[in-house]
Structure 1
C-alpha cells in the first residue's frame, strides 16, 4: 500500500514538475537520468583495462595485463576502478552533484559505479567513503562520497560504513597542487574513527574523482596499518590524459 501511494505521488509530481535531464535540462522520462544526447557523451571506462589501476587499453592484452605505469610504480593499495572519464561531458554533472546540491544524481552515479566496480564489491566486507573535514561538511551539508557509498551498499549488499574514517585536519584544496604537493598535503590528515576496527576486513574506499590518488592512498595507508586485509578504491570519475585513453 505504501509503495503504491509513493508511486502515485511521484507520478503526480512529474505532472506538475516534469523530470529534467541532469546534464542539459531537457525533459526526460524519469528524474535523476540523462537524455539520449547527454548519455552518449559520457565516456564510460570499460574493459579492456589494466588489471590493477583500471586504465583503459586500446585493445585486449589479457585478463591480468598491467599498464606500464603500474609495472613501474605499483599502487599502494589493491585495485582501482572508476566508472567514467572526468572530461567535458562528465565534469558539469559531477560538479553539480558535488557543489550544487544535485543529490538526485546519486542513484544514477552509484549504478554506474556498481557496474564498474562489481568485482571489487563482490569481495568486500565494508564500503566506506573518503571523509570530509567537519567544517567543510558543515559548509557543504553533505559528503558526496558518503552518499555514493551508502547507495553502493544498498545495491551490492555490502555493509556501508560512512563514518569509518575521520579527517583530522582541514587541508587546502588539491586542485592547484602537483602530485608531490598533493601527497604532502594529505599526509597524516586521516585516522580510523575511535572505537572502530577493520582488522581482517576487506574495504572498498569510495571517492568522487580520482586524480593522482594521493587522498585515497593516505586513507588506504591508515586502514592497512589498522589491520585491514585489503583496501581497494572505487571512484565515480577518473582524470586521465588524452594519451592514456
Structure 2
C-alpha cells in the first residue's frame, strides 16, 4: 500500500485540503457561469440588432475571444493589468473576469443562433397582433429559444468548469494547485502519490460535470421529440 501511494490521501488533512480546493474551483465556476449567462443573453439580443456598427463591434468581440486562448487571456488580465494599468487584481478576480469575458461571448453566440433559428413568421405574427419589440422577445422569441438553448448552454457550463484548471498557472490555490502541493510535499516519502492525487481530482471533476452532461443530453433528446 505504501508503494501505491494511496495512503497520502488519508494523511493529515490532505483530503480536506483537496475538498477546499474544489470549493474554490466551484465558487469561481458558479460566479463566472451566472454572470456569463446573464451577460450572454443580453449580448445575443444585441447581436440581433440590424445596426451595422453594433453588429461589427459584437462580431469583433466574439472573434477576438474565440481566437485568443484562455490561458493567454488569463496572463493578459492578471499580469498585464498589474504592470500596465496598475491594478492589483487577485488571481481569483482575474479568473472570474476572463471566464466571464469568454463565457459571455460563447453564450451570446448561442443565444443569437437560437433566436435566428426561429421562423421569421413568429415575429411577423407578433407585430400583426400589435406587440412591441420587447413583448415579441418576451412572449414569443425567448420562450422558444430557451428550449433550443439550454442543452448547448449546459455543455458550455461543463467546458467552463473544466477550463478553470488553467487558473493554477496564475497562482490560484484551487483543486489542481492543492493537489500539486500535496504531491510535492510527499515527493520523497510517496513517489507514486501523483497517480492517486490526480485520480481523485479527475473523479471530482467527473462527478461535477458528468451529471450536467447527462441532463443536457436528456433535455436535447426530449425537446427534439
More helix, by proportion:
2
Q: TM-score, normalised by structure 2?
A: 0.23
Q: TM-score, normalised by structure 1?
A: 0.22
Higher relative contact order (CA 8 A, sep 6+): 2
More strand, by proportion:
1
